[in-house]
Amino acid sequence: MNEEVDVLLSNPWLETLAFFSIAILALIVFLAIFEFVTRYNDWAEIKKGNVSVAMATGGKIFGICNIFRFAILNNDTILHSLMWASFGFVLLLAAYFIFEFLTPVFKIDAEIQKDNKAVGLLSMILSISISYVVGASVT
Asked if residues 45 and 113 have their Cβ atoms less than 8 Å apart, the reply is: yes
Three-class SS state of 97? helix
Per-residue pLDDT of the chain (139 residues; tens, 9 = 90+): 567 666 666 788 888 898 999 999 999 999 999 999 998 999 999 999 999 999 999 999 999 999 999 999 998 888 899 999 999 999 999 999 998 888 888 899 999 999 999 999 999 999 999 999 999 998 6
Quote the domain boundaries for residue 23.
2-137
Q: Which helix (H) or strand (E) holds 112?
A: helix 108-113
Q: How many domains does one find in the chain?
A: 1
